Structure 1
Amino acid sequence: MGRPLTERVADAAAPAVLALTGDLERPARLTVPDLLAWPQHRVRVSFECATSGVQHHRFEGPLLHDVLCAAGPQFDPGRRKDRLRFLIAVTGADGHHALLSWAEIDPDFGRAPVLLAAGIDDTALDGSGPQLVLPQDRCGARYVSGVNAIRVDGRYGPWT
Structure 2
Amino acid sequence: MSQSLAAAGTAAGPVAELALTGDLTRPARLTVSDLLAWPQHETEVSFECATSGIQRHRFTGPLLHDVLMAAGPGFDPARRKERLRFLIAVSGRDGHHALLSWAEIDPDFGRAPVLLAATVDDSPLDGQGPQLVLPQDRCGARHISGIGAIRVDGGYLL
Same fold, TM-score > 0.5, yes or no:
yes
Structure 1 residue 104 corresponds to structure 2 residue 104: yes
Letter in 1 for 2:13: A
User: What is the match of residue 27 of structure 2?
Assistant: 27
- Answer 1 or 2: which has greater strand percent: 2
User: What is the match of residue 7 of structure 2?
Assistant: none
Residue segments in structure 2 that go unaligned for 5+ positions in a row:
1-9
Structure 1 residue 132 corresponds to structure 2 residue 132: yes
User: What is the match of residue 71 of structure 1?
Assistant: 71
User: What is the match of residue 122 of structure 1?
Assistant: 122
Shift of 1:130: 0.2
Aligned to 1:157, the other structure's residue is in SS state: coil
Q: Deviations over 1:25-73 (max 9, x none)?
A: 0000000000000000000010000000000000000000000000000
Coordinate RMSD, CA, aligned: 1.0
Residue segments in structure 1 that go unaligned for 5+ positions in a row:
1-9
Letter in 1 for 2:87: L
Aligned to 1:85, the other structure's residue is in SS state: coil
Sequence identity of aligned pairs in percent?
79
Aligned equivalents of 1:126 and 1:77: distance in 2?
32
Aligned equivalents of 1:99 and 1:11: distance in 2?
35
User: What is the match of residue 86 of structure 1?
Assistant: 86
Shift of 1:13: 2.2
Shift of 1:11: 5.9
Tell me if structure 2 keeps the 8 A contact 1:45–1:56.
yes
Letter in 2 for 1:46: S
Shift of 1:80: 1.1
Aligned to 1:149, the other structure's residue is in SS state: strand
Aligned to 1:81, the other structure's residue is in SS state: helix
Letter in 2 for 1:60: T
Aligned equivalents of 1:156 and 1:38: distance in 2?
29
Aligned to 2:135, the other structure's residue is in SS state: coil
Aligned to 2:14, the other structure's residue is in SS state: coil
Shift of 1:12: 2.9
User: Hey, which bits of structure 1, 4+ residues long, moved more than 6 A?
Assistant: none
Tell me if structure 2 keeps the 8 A contact 1:21–1:27.
yes
Aligned equivalents of 1:141 and 1:62: distance in 2?
20
Letter in 1 for 2:93: A
Aligned equivalents of 1:11 and 1:69: distance in 2?
33
